Structure 1
C-alpha cells in the first residue's frame, strides 16, 4: 500500500463517516433534522441542512428554500428565529421560579415520506399552520 492509497482510503472513510453523521433519520421531519444538524454542526449562513434534508427526503420539493425565505429564513438557524418554535413546555425551577427550555429537544414525531411540513413538535411563530 502506498501513501496515496492510504490517503484515498482515509478520504473514503471520512466521507462515509460524514454521511452517517448527517443522515436524515427515518421519517424525520425537516425542522427536527435541521435543528439536530444546527445543534451538532452549527449554521454556516446558508440553508445547507434544509437543502440536504430536501435532497434526501423530498427531492421534488424544489420550492422549499423559497418557502423558507417567505418566513424570513435565509439560513438554517433563521428557521427557528423567524419562522418556527418548538411546542415543548418550558421547565420551571420550583426553588427559584426561573423558567427555561429543556436541555435537549429530541424525538421527532415523524412525517410520511416526501412531506415537507414539520411534525407536530413545531409551530409557526405567527400562528400560521403551514408554510
Structure 2
C-alpha cells in the first residue's frame, strides 16, 4: 500500500465517521437535531444544521430556511434564542423563590419522516404559531 492509498483510505474513513456523527436520529425533529448539532459542533452564523436536517429528512420542505427567518432565526442558535424553548414543567421552590428545571431533559419525542414541525419537546416563544 502506498502513502497515497493510505491517505485515501483515511479520507474515506473520516468522511464516513463525519456522516455518522451528523446524521439525524430516526424520527428526530428539526429542533432536537439542530440543538444536538449546535451543542456538539457550534453555530457558524448560518442555518447550517437546519439545512442539513432538511436535506436528509425533508428535502421537499424547500421553504424551511425562509420560515426560520420569519421566526427571527437567521442562524441555527437563533432558533432557540428567538423562536423556540423546551416545553418542560419547572418546579417552583418556595424557599428560594426560584423556578427549577428538571435534572435532565432527553430524547426527541419523534416526528414522522418529512414533517418539519418540531416534536412535543418544543414550544414556540410568546405563543406564536409554529413555522
Task: Name the TM-score, length of structure 2 as normaliser.
Answer: 0.90
What is the match of residue 20 of structure 2?
20
Structure 2 stretches lacking a partner, 5+ long? none
**Structure 1 contact 108–119 (Cα < 8 Å) conserved:** yes
Decide whether aligned partners of structure 1 residues 11 and 104 sit closer, same or farther in structure 2, where only a CA change above 3 A counts. Answer: farther
Task: List aligned pairs for 1:1-131, cutoff 5 A.
Answer: 1-90=1-90, 98-102=98-102, 104-131=104-131
Per-residue deviation, residues 24-49 of structure 1 (Å, max 9, x unmatched): 11111000100111111111111000
* Cα displacement (A) at 1:53: 0.3
Distance in 1, Cα, partners of 2:19 & 2:83: 28
SS at 2:11 equivalent: helix
* Cα displacement (A) at 1:94: 8.2
Distance in 2, Cα, partners of 1:125 & 1:29: 17
Structure 1 stretches lacking a partner, 5+ long? none
* Cα displacement (A) at 1:90: 3.1
Per-residue deviation, residues 57-90 of structure 1 (Å, max 9, x unmatched): 0000000000000011000000000010110233
SS at 1:126 equivalent: helix
Please, what is the CA RMSD of the aligned residues?
1.9
SS at 2:8 equivalent: helix
Aligned residues: 131
SS at 1:123 equivalent: strand
